[in-house]
Structure 1
């Protein structure tokens, strides 16, 4: 891809944003070198990797890249036989540890959520645990070689500490004596050039033997190594030299280990950099509220609510555009400052981003194409250095584009033909556009020339478009209107600003009648479009209101059914308790009668007592039957018109019609309801029988879906009702071992959201909660994490 195009479409600014989310220098380097790819298979792979990282980042957060540094230079030097210093070896150890943490992080996620590409990359990381342990056993976190690195080093350092201690004791005894202390500038022991010295006043220099190592700036103080400790200091120097030699041996051994694993370490560094780069793309997608586009290589582009990523969210106007289906070229007309150039840059930049494996700020299901090249001639490219006018610069660019374009290219032309005589410019623009269109490229071009409106109208595969302009506010809305050519709006603007009417009338008289008819036609199209959009918005509003009412009524019906069932169950329990008491009393009386008969020799027969107990049992009210166990094959032969029994309701009915392969519409008395085929038992296959309307009113309980809900929609509920549903929903989710649930409360006034979140904060099964991310519903959804 031409670097000039990348600069024109501000592609580098997107990479700078992405680079800000990398955590390693390797990842940053990959981002800085990123360019769009023209192979659709590669692009799909890049996007899939970004999608996996987006999912991981949303569910588990960012992988731990801490402690990882670019050890490429140190590793290559070790491979060539150079010796690494302790800081470099520590960096190698920390990078090995950090790489292993990332590998395990992704492996753990892969067990729950399949992330094939990330897992494949992380599996390539070698776990250099032996090398890491070898370095850590010799070098501490401060990059110092430890005494335990070798036996020899430990022995030398013990002798060093012992020798230093003896020297200090000797010097301390000297400076404490009254004879010597008066000759000293300060009563302290210091070091000059790795040798212990004492500060002596200059006039007493001759009273001390030994070596002068330094003097103060004023010359009043001499730093002298007394003769009595010269030999001791010499011994220390020899020990320090032994220490340095032993440290060098240790560093060489560790460096050799790094050199042995250099190839694997370099691969690890590359893989970690790629993972960092992929997760940086995912974090950029979160920040931009971007989505994964669908890709093709057949020249089809369909942006839904596409936004320019460099314009703030509160200012950008979404763009809807389709190219490559019924039309392969779009001619955008309209006044300056209306957003035509931004439209071109948005189409081009989002295409480049998708071809680089980046998500694009657009609605889901947006489609973009993998072009073999994108060419753009945008903006005023007047060049003083090359002595080229604006028109010449545009022509130079267009000539280059015409030479390099292919049938799989995307061409973006801004103000084609501008900068010269309008008559010649419009003719030249039509000729250039006609050549590109016939060549088969995908093209979006902007222009001021009204002649191009008729040109686009007459050509198959071309379509007019314009940037909407609000005459009432005298300002553009920056909305792209496909199928409607742009209007000049000059007369309307002049009239609104107060231009005298006679001037306006004269001006209108100068305009050709044909041009006026075109303007009136465009105005009529705009009015019809606005009316259609308003009607569609009103219809959508009514549909949403009806949907809310339907859900509300459905929930009320469910609540009534649940309340009825609870009342019936309580009544049955109360009745059973009364029956149990009566039975116990009857048993007691019968037992007393039997004992009395035996005691008095009365002729109360045992069979009469048994008959009395049987009559008592028969008088006992029957409870509702429980739903019997269902068989696997009873519902297989059910057809329309069959008499069936509904297990869950213990009711008989007739099948009115089958709905798909899993449900049937069943007539139950005066009611019809959808019932799962698994909940039906075939009684008879008499299709001629029509369902009879029962005289008695039958209460019906709707069957529940066997699937566990992960979402609860509370829109339209009041707070009290909502909290009851949330309590039941959380308990159900907890018993089903769900880790995360979504509660949809809508945005509204925020009362429902606040009440639900206050309730979740105190619930024993709720570990944490948060508002939904982009793609989850935003502020209208609360996501709860369960214990």
Structure 2
């Protein structure tokens, strides 16, 4: 890809946006080397990596990579067997620590069955050195300071230094706080030449003896090391020298320890930088609402609602851009300030981004090509004095482009043929387009020349286009109209700006009738296209609303069918029970008649027969279907819920009152002092007269009002390993069940980890009025990884 197109389309500004998301020096190096690729498989691989990064961002908030410094110079020094200082070792340690944490992160994702396409293979190339990493971590602080644990000798020396300094300060207090303090300019202990001294007034120097190490600018204060502390300072100085020697030895030892692994460490830095770069691409795509483009080997480009990435998202106008399938050339005509040049740049920059492995600022389902090169000659005319040089410059650029293009190239030409005689410029533009078409390249041009409107209509594989203008206000809308040539609105704009109507009428008389008819025809086409687009947008919105309605109806139908089957089952069960009871009664009646017949010798009295016949008739249902419907009707009424109804919450075995509807299938229910959101399938309507009376409840023994436990409720909830939203939902349900089951104390295990679950748990407990108090568990019971809650 040529450098000029990257400069013309401001590709570096896109890279500048990406740079804000990078945290490693290796990632910055990879971004600096980023260029559009021209091989189909290479582009596909880059986009697959970005897709993996987007999935990780969506599921896990990105790959955990901290700030990483550039360690290339340190690795070069290790190659020549030089020793590294503490800061350099700390930077290498951070790379090794990050390598281990990233490998663990991807191992956890494998355990969660998160399917990635290529990144797992790249992470497997990371080399971890646990023992050396642990040694470095123990020896070097992140800021480069050598820890006491770096060696036993260093630990002992530093203890001696601390002890000696303490002793010196105790000795010095005899001077700063005793009777000798009056001879000091200030009652303090300070350092000069790395030895502890006191500031003595010059005329009292003989009061202390010892060594003078410095004096003030005025000469009135001498910094004296008293004779009594000279030996102690000597011992301290000796210990400090031994400390520096031991520190140098530790740094040398650590440098030799990691030197054999410098190639692995360098490879780790590169891989982590690449993962950082993928992270940056994913975060940039998320923030700019960019999407994964499809790739076309035939270079069929179709951008759906494409947006220029460098224009304010609140102001940018999205357009559909299509080329390569039905036509290979687009001629965009129309007046200035309509957005023609931005349309060219939008197509070009999106192609560069897609071929660089970036998601593109367009709607999902957009397709890009894989061009071997993209050429552009874009620049605005500034003044009449520059016309000649502008034309020459444009022609020089076009000449260079024509010498390099192939049938796999994309050419963007702004104001082709401008800057010279209009007729010659138009003829030259058409000849250039013919040459580009003969080579099979794809081309998009902008022009003012009306002759090119006819060219776009006559030539095969060529289509006219224009930028839409509002016919009433004559203001641009910046919408691209494919298939409609641009309309000249010069006379209308001049009239709107206040030019005399006499001048306007004379100008119209000088314009040919054909030109006026063409403008009128174009105006009608633009108006029809605008109405068609508005109607299309209205229909698209209507289709979306209908899809949502259909989804809701389908869900309701599913619930209805489920409830209907349940009611049918209940009705069948009840009907079977009634039939069984009727059969038993009939059997008893028949048995009684047989007994009477036996007892009376075969003669049963008529009144007894009439009584038996009446009992049998009483068992007969004149219309069984009505009875069946009655059962269904009563069951249906139990689920006909309204605000204020009394209900039974089946899963809790508690009565409550409906407060309000929550969503499509949930109700807010008042159960005693609790308010809960409950699915309507768990509710059954009851008559308010059936509710337990408050007076009756008060008369009952205290044990009778205890909540019946409807599910096994534990006094312990383990949230470890759960996502934040899921954990908070489970915590809310757990506290509700604990209250309903009369649990006074419960334990919530949230772990330590990042602290997000612990913080969320405490915020919820603080906001719940039913929580009396809470505190961390005892150290032997989990410490700050668990919280004890008193309800």
Q: TM-score when scaled to structure 1?
A: 0.72
Alignment of 1:258-407 (within 5 A): 258-380=258-380, 389-407=389-407
Could you tell me which residue of structure 1 aligns to residue 436 of structure 2?
436
Could you tell me which residue of structure 2 aligns to residue 146 of structure 1?
147
Counterparts of 2:338 and 2:38, CA distance in 1:
32
Could you tell me which residue of structure 1 aligns to residue 128 of structure 2?
127
Could you tell me which residue of structure 2 aligns to residue 83 of structure 1?
83
Q: 1:383 to 1:110 in 2, by over 3 A?
A: farther
Q: Is the 8 A contact 2:47 2:359 kept in 1?
A: yes
RMSD of Structure 2 on Structure 1 (CA)? 4.1
Q: 1:762 to 1:164 in 2, by over 3 A?
A: closer
Counterparts of 1:385 and 1:3, CA distance in 2:
29
Counterparts of 1:96 and 1:71, CA distance in 2:
12
Q: Which moved more, 1:516-525 or 1:42-51?
A: 516-525
Q: 1:153 to 1:590 in 2, by over 3 A?
A: farther
Q: Using the TM superposition, give the Cα deviation of residue 283 of structure 1 relative to its aligned residue in structure 2, in angstroms.
A: 0.8
Q: Using the TM superposition, give the Cα deviation of residue 368 of structure 1 relative to its aligned residue in structure 2, in angstroms.
A: 0.8
Structure 1 spans left out of the alignment, 5+ residues: 597-615, 622-717, 732-738, 743-757, 769-787
Counterparts of 2:681 and 2:255, CA distance in 1:
57
Q: Using the TM superposition, give the Cα deviation of residue 161 of structure 1 relative to its aligned residue in structure 2, in angstroms.
A: 3.5
Could you tell me which residue of structure 2 aligns to residue 779 of structure 1?
none
- Number of residue pairs matched by the alignment: 629
Q: Is the 8 A contact 1:417 1:428 kept in 2?
A: yes
Q: Using the TM superposition, give the Cα deviation of residue 575 of structure 1 relative to its aligned residue in structure 2, in angstroms.
A: 4.6
Q: 1:485 to 1:226 in 2, by over 3 A?
A: same
Q: Is the 8 A contact 1:211 1:227 kept in 2?
A: yes
Q: 1:142 to 1:497 in 2, by over 3 A?
A: closer
Q: Using the TM superposition, give the Cα deviation of residue 446 of structure 1 relative to its aligned residue in structure 2, in angstroms.
A: 0.3
Q: 1:388 to 1:128 in 2, by over 3 A?
A: farther
Q: 1:401 to 1:384 in 2, by over 3 A?
A: farther
Counterparts of 1:551 and 1:82, CA distance in 2:
69
Counterparts of 1:571 and 1:363, CA distance in 2:
53
Q: Is the 8 A contact 1:470 1:476 kept in 2?
A: yes
Structure 2 spans left out of the alignment, 5+ residues: 596-615, 622-660, 669-676, 683-721, 737-749, 751-755, 757-791
- 1:348-397 C-alpha deviation (Å, 9 max, x unpaired): 00000001100111111211111111111111378999997221221221
Q: Using the TM superposition, give the Cα deviation of residue 75 of structure 1 relative to its aligned residue in structure 2, in angstroms.
A: 2.7
Q: Using the TM superposition, give the Cα deviation of residue 498 of structure 1 relative to its aligned residue in structure 2, in angstroms.
A: 6.3
SS across alignment from 1:116: coil
Q: Is the 8 A contact 1:383 1:389 kept in 2?
A: no
SS across alignment from 1:443: strand
Q: 1:43 to 1:315 in 2, by over 3 A?
A: same
Counterparts of 2:386 and 2:544, CA distance in 1:
61
Q: 1:307 to 1:138 in 2, by over 3 A?
A: same
Q: Is the 8 A contact 1:213 1:224 kept in 2?
A: yes
Q: 1:165 to 1:469 in 2, by over 3 A?
A: closer
- 1:183-206 C-alpha deviation (Å, 9 max, x unpaired): 433444433212222332211223
Alignment of 1:127-526 (within 5 A): 127-141=128-142, 143-173=144-174, 178=179, 180-380=180-380, 389-494=389-494, 503-526=503-526
Q: Using the TM superposition, give the Cα deviation of residue 343 of structure 1 relative to its aligned residue in structure 2, in angstroms.
A: 0.4
Q: Using the TM superposition, give the Cα deviation of residue 329 of structure 1 relative to its aligned residue in structure 2, in angstroms.
A: 0.7
Q: 1:211 to 1:559 in 2, by over 3 A?
A: closer
Could you tell me which residue of structure 1 aligns to residue 50 of structure 2?
50
- 1:475-510 C-alpha deviation (Å, 9 max, x unpaired): 011111111111102344455566665544433332
Q: Is the 8 A contact 2:484 2:525 kept in 1?
A: yes
Q: 1:574 to 1:453 in 2, by over 3 A?
A: same
Q: Using the TM superposition, give the Cα deviation of residue 76 of structure 1 relative to its aligned residue in structure 2, in angstroms.
A: 2.4
Q: Which moved more, 1:483-492 or 1:539-548?
A: 539-548
Q: 1:559 to 1:228 in 2, by over 3 A?
A: closer
SS across alignment from 1:199: strand
Counterparts of 1:5 and 1:67, CA distance in 2:
33
Counterparts of 2:572 and 2:401, CA distance in 1:
85
Q: Which moved more, 1:531-540 or 1:187-196?
A: 531-540
Q: 1:365 to 1:192 in 2, by over 3 A?
A: same
SS across alignment from 1:410: strand
Q: Is the 8 A contact 1:297 1:371 kept in 2?
A: no
Q: Is the 8 A contact 1:79 1:258 kept in 2?
A: no
Q: Is the 8 A contact 2:464 2:485 kept in 1?
A: yes
Could you tell me which residue of structure 1 aligns to residue 772 of structure 2?
none
Q: Using the TM superposition, give the Cα deviation of residue 167 of structure 1 relative to its aligned residue in structure 2, in angstroms.
A: 3.7
Could you tell me which residue of structure 1 aligns to residue 64 of structure 2?
64
Alignment of 1:545-564 (within 5 A): 557-558=557-558, 560-564=560-564
Counterparts of 1:548 and 1:168, CA distance in 2:
79
- 1:402-453 C-alpha deviation (Å, 9 max, x unpaired): 2222221111000011112212211222222221221211100000000111
Could you tell me which residue of structure 2 aligns to residue 5 of structure 1?
5
Q: Using the TM superposition, give the Cα deviation of residue 729 of structure 1 relative to its aligned residue in structure 2, in angstroms.
A: 11
Q: TM-score when scaled to structure 2?
A: 0.71
Tell me which of 663, 666, 683 is aligned to 1:723. 666
